[in-house]
Amino acid sequence: MEFAILGPLEVRTRAGSRVRLGGARQERLLAALLLNGGGAVPVARLVDAVWEDRPPATADRQVRNLAGLLRRGFRKADPTGPPVLLTDGRGYRIPLDDHGLDARVFADTVALSRRTAAAGQQAAAAAGLRQALSLWRGPVLDGLDGQLIDAGAVPLDELRLTAWEDCLDLEAALGRHRAGIPELTGLVADHPLRERFVGQLMRALHASGRTADALTVHRRFADRLAEELGLDPSPELRRLHLELLTTEASPTPSPSPSSSPEPDRGEPTVAPGETDRGPEPGRHPAVPVPAQLPPSLATFTGRDAELAVLDAFAAAATTVGDRDHAPAPEPGGARAGQPCRPPDARICVVSGSAGIGKSTLVVQWAHRVRARFPGGQLYADLHGFSAEPPLAPHAVLARFLRALGVPGERVPTVPEEAAALYRSMLADQRVLVVLDNARSADQVRPLLPGAPECLTVVTSRSGLAGLTARDGARPLPLDLMPAPDAVALLDRVIGARRARSEPAAVAELAAVCGRLPLALAIAAGRLAERPGRTVADHVAELRDTGNRLTALAIDDDAGSAVRATLDLSYRALPATARTLFRLLALAPGSGLTAPAAAALCGERVAVVRPVLEQLTTAHLLTHEGGDRYRLHDLLRLYAAERAAAETGRAVRAAALERLGTWYLHHADAAARLLTPHRRRVPLDAPGAWYEPPAFTTAAGAQRWCESEHTRLLSTIRAAAEHGPDGLAWRLPVALWSYYFTSPHLDEREEAARLAVAAAVRAGDRYGEGHARNDLATALAALGRHDEVLAELRRARALFASIDDRAGEAQVIGNLGDHCLSTGAYGQARLHFQGALTLFRAQPEESRDDWAIRVCETNIGVTAMLTGRAREAGEYLHRALDRHRSTGDPVLESITLYHLGDHHRRLDRPEQAVERLRQALAVLDDTTRNPRLRAEVLTALARLGEAAGPRAEGPAAERR
């Protein structure tokens, strides 16, 4: 096993697979063993490590149980590996001679590097120490706490810092003064009372021609030391101070290595053996290197994929910068067959919605890589989406120029001249420029350095496509946090112990916050302020509150509230985009297509599509691919707020009615393709805004219904609750053709019950008859035959009361289906014949040809089940011919299945298999009917056919 404690606790097998530990107690037990460096740890000490001062009465036994769980976990992860956890006297130990521990590798590498330095090999020693420091991923056992763990971490932390000091001394002796300044500046900020770092920074500044800055560092250290501890600097540091006052810049003396590390803050910016280039061109020697980055957040979590993209961006760009300083190629350019490589992007645009964590991500990353930029880091909040007006580029240029050493009175007042001077100041430097909260590409362009070694990272709520198109920027859009990262963020803020006590509630809190980092941070902050409050109670408050957005606010920081950040994005939209954004909140579910959005507005799709793109560019809407868009939960709540405040009730009602009409007519168009020639409920013509659906085949109609089925049901629910009642019963009736072959049986029943309730409420006996008839077929598909008969009798009575003979015939045919399912074959035949007579009696122009063919097929089935084989064959073959001639794959596949059963009963296995395989081919090629497919496959299996479902079929079909 490979154990890692220089950061969060990790265990990996020799093959590199991560080993999952069972929980916090197992982690603390393992941590105590690893901190002991392979020695035995008594059970009593392990009890203290796991429970500290509050162990249970059974703690000794529980420790042994935990050790057993760890053993089994290690054995399962690496069955052939050496033993990991050994019993030793009254305790346990981990034999580190057989396993790896990063802390041991670190200590060994540091010791070897010191021996190398003592032998006079300074470059190799510095490289070795850098390699040792790179093993650190964060604080020792990050995420675990306790007195024993903290005490065990102290020696490692001290070893780390002294190794870092030794490394910087060695690199200074190699002439790498200027390269070490950014790293030392950060170390002094992180460890302000560690005198050796202060002295190293003073020497590096002095050797780089910045003696005044070095003296300022000494003065600040002496002031802080006196204020906090009442002490003076050591004699060594006072002598260095006097030396700097009396001498010119000179190389630092050779180091005297003494001790240890901290995590690497970035790759060295000067290669081994390279000397510093001296004072930076264009900068006054007394001006410090700009380090303007805001503080990074200690609670930053996740975003590994995005950090990797930014790392790759920086690596590629800085590598290209190094190539730019290489000797020019010989005449003729690149070698034959090797085209010249285009330059990598030096601009990255990180975009996303309000509160998504753009600035936090970029600042966190910038701190990680600041050592790559010895020229410093420039930062500006451009106020592109802020309560304050956006900053003019010239105002930002003036700030940057002053930070680069230009006296305020010498900053050009002409914007173009200021931009030219700015580019000149950065011409030979490697500087990271962070432009936060940009409004537009025009606001950013004057602030872009011209130097190939400078990188610029921009954050914006807009995608700033112009920077990508014209300036070669690399786009990096941010989405909501993945659920595991959202939970991890909550864990870090409220504490791992508290989070692990309510894992389900923490996961629900992440969902309620919509996985939006700002909302997560606010919710977690409120919990952290109230240690006695449970996570479940906080979730209940957010769910129950009439306004969740109000609850996701900070009492003394209104500008950080979720609603306030969204306001800024919303107010920046054009009026048409604001109108559409409000209407989108009315749509059922979180997503919809461009044609559905057009229906909400009462416009054609071509008019609405560019407005959808505006909302997508502003990251107030997510484009999910194709024609589909989505509002995440908190944006949906905010849009609903704005709709209630700015869109009148009548306008909202009209938009919802148009959307319902759009779904109804699309469902009706799908039904006409899925069950052609079937009688339909008449519909009123839609408005001029309506555009017919894009699907033109039964397969396309099936795909549309499947992709929209959750929104269709949500539309039915909304109509059943708020009206209109006519839509609430007509839409389920129109969807019967889809539900007839659909696997969503529970949805089918719910839709039918809502339709019944709406028709009853409206006093519409025609609608109620259709709804109850459809409810009976839904109950029959669910196998609840005891409830079917009552609904069919009510439906028949309703149709009879309005003298609707065609409706009554439909019910009678379904009574035949009910009898067929319950084994009353003779009664079923009578019902099918009666329904057939009524259907044929209808006027030819309104005759339900589909229902007639269904009755003929079912009469053939009853003949087969009652032993009249010849009659069954005649009916079923005639029905098959008619289904094929009318192009009805649904009934064709059903009839082929029954013909297969017919041949099986006649002991004709070859003909049975042929018909069943034909049915399977129709199901695969033209229609989707998972229940019938299962029946066909079962029948083939009974006949000895090894025919399974096709691998490429949809998951729902395979189920």
Is the per-residue pLDDT at 863 higher than 50?
A: yes
Q: Is residue 476 within 8 Å of residue 309, measured between CB atoms?
A: yes
> What per-residue confidence (pLDDT) applies to 237?
86
**In the CATH hierarchy, which top-level class contains the domain 648-803?**
mainly alpha
For residue 633, give the amino acid letter.
D
Most confident of 223-237, 404-418, 701-715: 701-715
**Alpha-carbon torsion (444, 445, 449, 452), positive or negative:** positive
pLDDT at site 560: 57
Residue 319, pLDDT score? 58
For the chain, how long is the longest CA-to-CA vector?
Answer: 120
User: Which of 78-87, 276-285, 416-425 holds the top average pLDDT?
Assistant: 416-425
Q: Is the pLDDT of residue 254 over 90?
A: no
Neighbours of 1 (CB within 10 A): 20
Cβ proximity of 270 and 123 under 8 Å: no
Is residue 369 scored above 60 in pLDDT? yes
- For the chain, the straight-line distance linking the first and the last C-alpha, in angstroms and rounded, comes to 41
Do 899 and 876 meet the contact criterion of CB atoms below 8 Å apart? yes
Confidence (pLDDT) at 897: 93
* Domain 105-260, CATH number (from 2.30.30.40, 1.25.40.10, 2.40.30.260, 3.10.129.10): 1.25.40.10
The pLDDT of 887-916, averaged and rounded, is 91
Q: 153-186: string of b/e by CB count within 10 Å (b at 16+)? A: beebbebbbbbbbbbbbbbbbbbbbbbbbbbbbb
Confidence of residue 555 (pLDDT cuts 50, 70, 90): low
Tokens of 242: 């006097």
Please say if the pLDDT value at position 784 is more than 80. yes
Give the single-character DSSP code of 450.
-
Over residues 301-328, the pLDDT tens digits come to: 788 888 888 888 888 766 544 444 444 4
Question: Cα separation of 717 and 723, whole Å?
Answer: 9
Q: What's the whole-number mean pLDDT along residues 661-669?
A: 95
Percent of the chain scoring above 70 in pLDDT: 89
Specify the pLDDT at position 766: 95
Whether the model clears a pTM of 0.85, i.e. scores above it, the answer is: no
CB-based contacts of 487-492 (< 8 A; 24+ apart in sequence): 488/301, 488/302, 489/299, 489/301, 489/302, 489/517, 489/520, 489/521, 489/524, 490/520, 490/523, 490/524, 492/143, 492/299, 492/301
Residue 286 has pLDDT above 80, yes or no: no
- Let me know: does 141 contact 232? Beta carbons within 8 Å: no
The dihedral of CA 434, 439, 440, 444: what is its sign? Answer: negative
**Predicted pLDDT of residue 247:** 62
In percent, the amount of the chain with pLDDT more than 90 equals 28
More confident residue, 633 or 374: 374
Per-residue pLDDT at 331 exceeds 50: no
**Phi–psi pair at 798, nearest 5 degrees:** -65, -45
Q: Which two tokens stand for residue 691?
A: 């555009």
The CATH code that applies to domain 357-474 is: 3.40.50.300
Average pLDDT score over the chain: 82
pLDDT band at residue 796 using 50, 70 and 90 as cut-offs: very high
Residue 678: is its pLDDT beyond 90? Answer: no
Residues ≥6 apart with Cβ < 8 Å to 430: 269, 318, 321, 372, 373, 374, 375, 451, 453, 454
Mean pLDDT of 130-156: 83
> Which CATH number is 2-98's, of 1.20.120.1200, 1.10.10.10, 3.30.70.360, 1.10.490.130?
1.10.10.10
Tell me, what's the pLDDT at 757? 95
Query: What pLDDT was estimated at residue 377?
Result: 92
The residue count for the chain: 959
pLDDT-derived band at 31 (thresholds 50, 70, 90) equals: confident
pLDDT tens across 75-125, in order?
888 888 888 888 877 788 888 877 888 888 888 898 998 888 888 888 888
490-501 per-position pLDDT tens digit: 877 777 777 777
